[in-house]
């Protein structure tokens, strides 16, 4: 069981499913449902900022893009909140987008409720929950595709500079280390940002780390 009461907010477009999930969670004293919503708009309006430990959500609200937006919104509104997707959707692109947005675990509704509770308890206790092999396989395949694509995007020099950026090196320090001019380093960093589709170096490093490029 969780070591403390887990304040849980549910977001799912199906009222019947929300009712069933709420009733099931009542059987586990470690979880307390503090609210629910059936759409992205309603979730944003009702989400208890700073008072939620766990957001348990369907990714399609009713479209996956709405779920991705809710993940980002919730992490900004409540940085310490854990987010678990409980969905009937197991499309590799959707799972990947949820992963990139910052979801902590992606579960399938086809899993039995005791298994879902076990994963949630592990997550809330600070452990690394074991996800469905189906989800893990889809995510890893998508990550590998993304990594191969990014490997092709970045040259060896760009990877070297990005590794040094990740270590906190300045443009001048990178130039000295690689025997380049600072102008070349700045230009290369600009190319990396453009290829990754991000607007600063921190985000570029995050993308590279998530895809095991550095």
Residues 175 and 159: their CA atoms lie apart, in Å, by 14
Residue 149 lies in a domain: no
Task: Express each pLDDT in 169-185 by its tens digit.
Answer: 999 999 999 888 888 89
Task: Express each pLDDT in 137-193 by its tens digit.
Answer: 888 887 777 666 665 678 888 889 999 999 999 999 999 998 888 888 998 998 888
87 touches 108 (CB < 8 A): yes
Q: Which domain holds residue 133?
A: 6-141
- Structural Rg of the chain based on CA atoms: 20
Cis? peptide before 62, omega within 30° of 0: yes
Residue 148 lies in a domain: no
Asked whether the CA dihedral 130, 135, 138, 143 is positive or negative, the reply is: negative
Q: Are 124 and 160 in a shared domain?
A: no
**Predicted pLDDT at 137:** 87
Domain of residue 181, CATH code:
1.10.10.10
The pTM of this model reads 0.70
Residue 147 lies in a domain: no
**Predicted pLDDT at 214:** 81
């Amino acid at each position: 069981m969780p070591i403390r009461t887990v304040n849980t907010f549910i977001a799912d477009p199906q009222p019947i499913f929300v009712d069933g999930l709420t009733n099931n969670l009542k059987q586990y004293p470690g979880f307390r449902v503090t609210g629910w919503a059936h759409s992205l708009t309603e979730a944003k309006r009702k989400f208890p900022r700073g008072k939620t430990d766990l957001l348990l959500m369907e990714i399609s609200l009713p479209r996956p893009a709405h779920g991705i937006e809710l993940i980002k919104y919730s992490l900004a509104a409540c940085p310490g909140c854990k987010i678990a997707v409980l969905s009937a959707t197991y499309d590799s692109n959707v799972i990947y987008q949820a992963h990139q947005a910052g979801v902590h675990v992606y579960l399938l509704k086809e899993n039995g409720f005791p298994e879902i509770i076990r994963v949630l308890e592990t997550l809330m206790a600070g452990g690394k929950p074991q996800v469905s092999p189906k989800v893990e396989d889809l995510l890893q395949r998508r990550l590998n595709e993304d990594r191969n694509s990014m490997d092709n995007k970045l040259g060896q020099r760009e990877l070297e500079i990005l590794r040094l950026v990740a270590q906190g090196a300045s443009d001048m320090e990178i130039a000295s280390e690689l025997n380049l001019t600072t102008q070349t380093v700045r230009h290369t960093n600009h190319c990396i940002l453009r290829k990754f589709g991000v607007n600063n170096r921190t985000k570029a490093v995050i993308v590279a780390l998530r895809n095991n490029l550095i």
